[in-house]
Amino acid sequence: MKLDNLIILPVLLPLAGAILTFMLKGRLSRQKLVALVVLGLNLAWSLLLLAQVRSGEILAFSAGDWPVPFGIVFACDIFSALMLTVSAIVSLAVLLYAFHSIDIERGKFNFYAFFLLLVMGVNGAFLTGDIFNLYVFFEIMLISSYVLMSLGGEKAQLRETFKYMVINMLASALFLIGVALLYAVTGTLNMADLAVKIRTAADHGLLTVIAMIFMVVFGTKAAIFPLYFWLPQSYPATPPAVNAVLGGLLTKVGVYCLFRAFTLLFTFDPGYTHTILRFIAGATMAAGIIGAVGQFGMRSLLSYHIVSQIGYMIMGLGIFTPLGIAAGIYHLVHNMIVKTALFLTAGVTHDLTGTTDLHKLGGLLKVYPLLGWTFFFAGISLAGAPPMSGFFSKFALILAGLDAKHYLLVTVAVLISLLTLYSMMKIFRYAFWGQASREYPKVKYGPALCSAVALVAISLAMGLGADWMLELVMAAGEQMMDPDLYIRAVLLEV
C-alpha cells in the first residue's frame, strides 16, 4: 500500500473513533478505551510520518484520485508532520488528564467523541492542501470546541462560549469571503496551484488585499494583535481539561495557517506583508504580557500568555529567513508542549483546591511538592531559561532577528521574556510559596499530573536534544522557504 494514501489516517482514525464512541452510548470505560487507542495510534502514525518526511520527501495524494488541482489534495511535509506529532502528544496528554478530571456526566454525553473530533479537525487542517477544505476542517475543529466548551452548561461557561462562537463564526464568514475572492481571481482552490498562479499573476494589488484578509482570518484564530481579545476570558471559563487542549492546540492551528499562507502563497511582497507581520508580532507579545501581569487568576494569566507567546512565533514568520521560520516553528512546537503542561498544572491545582485564584492560594509547594516543581520547570521553560526547550527556541529567534537586523523587535522580545518570567514567578510566589490559607486535602494526585510531568520532560528533552530539534526545524524552514518543493510534490507527483 502506498504510504502517500495513508497520510489521511490522522483524520480518519479520530473520526472512526468518534463514531464508535457515539455508538457506545454512554458506556464510559469503553469510550475511554476507544479514545485512548485512537490517540495512541494517532501518535504512532504521526511519528512514522515524521520519520518518513524528515529526509525532505513530501508525501501527497488526491482524495478520490482526481487529477490535481481538481480534487482535494492532502500533503505532508516536515512542518505538517511535526505539527501532527506535537498535536498528537498534546492531545494524548490532555486525554490522560481528562480521565481524572472530566466528570462522569460530561463523559457520558460523549465528551471523548467531541475530543476526538477536535483532534480530527486539527489534524485535517495540518494536512490539507486545499484552501476550502481547510475551511471545512476549521469548522470541524471549531464546532467541536464550541461543544467541548459549553458541555455541562454552567452559566459562565455558556456566556463565554456564546461570545467565542459568534466571534469565530464571524471569522469564518470572513474566511469564506477570502476563499471566494481568491477563487474569483485565480480560479483555483488547491494551495500548490494557488501558489503558482499567485506568483505568476500580472497584478498583485488585489492579491495583497486578499493576503490581508487571510491575515485577519487566521490571525483571529491564532489570537494575534489586535484580534486576540476573544481568548483570555473564554478559555478560563471552560473545564480545565478543555482549557488545556484549547490552550495547547487550537490557537496554534491558526499559527500553522499563517505560516503556511505566508510561506507558500503570499510571498510576492514580503516587504509589505512580512513587515506588517513583524509589527504584529511585537504588538502581540506586548499586548499579551500586559494583559498577563495584571491578572490574579492562574488560568486567565496563562491565557494571556498564550497571546504573548504567539507573538514570538509570528516574529519568526515575519523575519522570513530559513532560520527565522525554523525558530518560529521551534517555538511553536515548544510552546504547544509547555503551554499544555502549564494548563494541566493549573487544572490539577483547580481539581485539588477548587480554585485558581492567586489571592486564595498559598503554600502549595509544601503540600503538593511535585505539582509545584512541575509548574516551576514549565514556567521557566516558557520564560526561556536554559536548558529547557524555551531557551533554544527563543535564542534561535533572537539570533535570526539580529541576523536580519531587526534590532527593535529583538529588544521587545527580550524584554517580554523578562516579564514572562515575572508573571510565572508571580504564580509561583503566590500559589506555591507563602502560607497556606487553609488545610489542603492530602490526596494522591500523581496520576492526574503524570501527563504534565511527561510534557515537562519532553520540553527538557527538546532542550537537551536541541541539536536534533534544530536540524529538524531547519530542514522544515528551508523546505518552506523554497515553495517549489511543495508545489512540485503536489502538482507533479500526485
Partner 1 sequence: MMLLGIVLAPFVAALLVPLLRRVAGPRIGLLLTIIPAVLFTLLLTLLPQVNSGTTIGSAWEWVSSLGINLVLRLDSWSLLFALLVTGIGTLVLLYSHFYLGAKEDLTKYYLYILAFMGSMLGVVLAGNLIILYLFWEFTSFTSFLLIGFWSDRERSRYGAQKALLITVLGGFVMLAGFALIYLVTGSFDLAEILARRELILESPLLPYIMLLVLIGAFTKSAQVPFHIWLPNAMEAPTPISAFLHSATMVKAGLYLVGRLVPLFGGTAMWFGLVSGVGIATLVTGSLLAVKQDDLKALLAYSTISQLGLIMTLFGLGTPLAIAAAVFHLFNHAAFKGALFMVVGIIDHETGTRDINLLGGLAKQMPTTAAVTGIAAFAMAGLPPFSGFVSKELFYEATVHPEFSGWLAGLLPWLAVGASIFTFVYSMLLFFYVFFGSPRGQTPKSPHEAPALMLVGPVVLALLTIFTGLKPDFIGQSLINPAAAGILGSPVAEHYRLWHGVTTPLLMSLATIGAGTVLYLLIEPLRRLFKKVKSRVNPNRIYDWGLDLLTNGSAKLTDWYMTGFLRDYVVYIIGAFVVFVGGTYLLKVRAIDAWHFAPVNLFELLFALLFVVAVIVLILASSRVIGLIALGIVGFFIASFWVIFRAPDLALTQLIVETISLILFLLAFAHLPSYFKDLEARKKKFIDAVTATGFGVVTAGLALTAHGTRLYEPLSTYYIENSLKLGGGRNIVNVILVDFRGLDTLGEITVLSIAAMGVYALVKLRGRAR
Partner 2 sequence: MILIFSIYLLLQGHNAPGGGFIAGLMTSATFVLQYVAYGIKHQRSILPLNFPMLIALGLLLSLGTGVVPMLFGKPFLTSAFGHLSLPVFGESEWATAVLFDLGVYLVVVGVTMTIITALGEN
Interface contacts to partner 2, rule CB under 8 A: 1-2, 4-6, 8, 12, 15-16, 19, 22-23, 25, 61-65
Residue with cell 487571510: 214
403-409 contacts, C-beta under 8 A, 24 or more apart: 403/321, 403/323, 404/319, 404/320, 404/321, 404/324, 406/278, 406/319, 408/282, 409/278, 409/281, 409/282, 409/315, 409/318
Binder among 23, 44, 166, 408 for partner 1 (CB under 8 A): 166
CA-based radius of gyration for the chain = 21
Footprint of partner 1 on 260-279 (CB under 8 A): 272, 276
The candidate with the shortest Cα–Cα distance to 234, out of 296, 303, 148, 152, is: 303
- Verify binding: residue 120, partner 1, rule CB under 8 A: yes
- Verify binding: residue 1, partner 1, rule CB under 8 A: no
Q: Which does 266 bind (CB under 5 to 8 A by kind): partner 1, partner 2, none?
A: none
Torsion of CA 142, 31, 12, 241, to 10 degrees: 30
Q: Which does 208 bind (CB under 5 to 8 A by kind): partner 1, partner 2, none?
A: partner 1
CA 346/CA 326 separation, integer angstroms: 30
Kindly state the smallest distance separating residue 16's Cβ from partner 2, in Å. Answer: 6
- Verify binding: residue 137, partner 1, rule CB under 8 A: yes
Kindly state the smallest distance separating residue 117's Cβ from partner 2, in Å. Answer: 10
Nearer to partner 2, 133 or 220 (CB): 133
- Verify binding: residue 439, partner 1, rule CB under 8 A: no
- Verify binding: residue 363, partner 1, rule CB under 8 A: yes
Q: Which does 2 bind (CB under 5 to 8 A by kind): partner 1, partner 2, none?
A: partner 2
Q: Which does 481 bind (CB under 5 to 8 A by kind): partner 2, partner 1, none?
A: none
Strand partners, 74: 61, 128
Strand partners, 63: 72
SS3 60: strand
The candidate with the shortest Cα–Cα distance to 386, out of 398, 404, 372, is: 398
- Verify binding: residue 283, partner 1, rule CB under 8 A: no
Q: Which does 126 bind (CB under 5 to 8 A by kind): partner 1, partner 2, none?
A: none
Q: Which does 5 bind (CB under 5 to 8 A by kind): partner 1, partner 2, none?
A: partner 2
- Verify binding: residue 136, partner 1, rule CB under 8 A: yes
- Which phi and psi angles does 60 have, rounded to 5°? -155, 150
CA 494/CA 488 separation, integer angstroms: 9
Nearer to partner 2, 16 or 169 (CB): 16
CA 313/CA 18 separation, integer angstroms: 32
Footprint of partner 1 on 19-38 (CB under 8 A): 22
- Verify binding: residue 58, partner 1, rule CB under 8 A: no
Check residue 249 and report its DSSP letter.
I
Binder among 203, 271, 438, 439 for partner 1 (CB under 8 A): 203
- Verify binding: residue 359, partner 1, rule CB under 8 A: no
Footprint of partner 1 on 466-485 (CB under 8 A): 466-467, 470-471, 474
Q: Which does 23 bind (CB under 5 to 8 A by kind): partner 1, partner 2, none?
A: partner 2
* Contact criterion met (CB below 8 Å) for 28 and 108: yes
Binder among 31, 46, 91, 186 for partner 1 (CB under 8 A): 186
Nearer to partner 1, 72 or 255 (CB): 72
- Verify binding: residue 312, partner 1, rule CB under 8 A: no
Q: Degrees (nearest 5) of the Cα angle 413, 418, 420?
A: 90
CA 115/CA 18 separation, integer angstroms: 8
Binder among 395, 481, 488, 491 for partner 1 (CB under 8 A): 395
CA 488/CA 192 separation, integer angstroms: 8
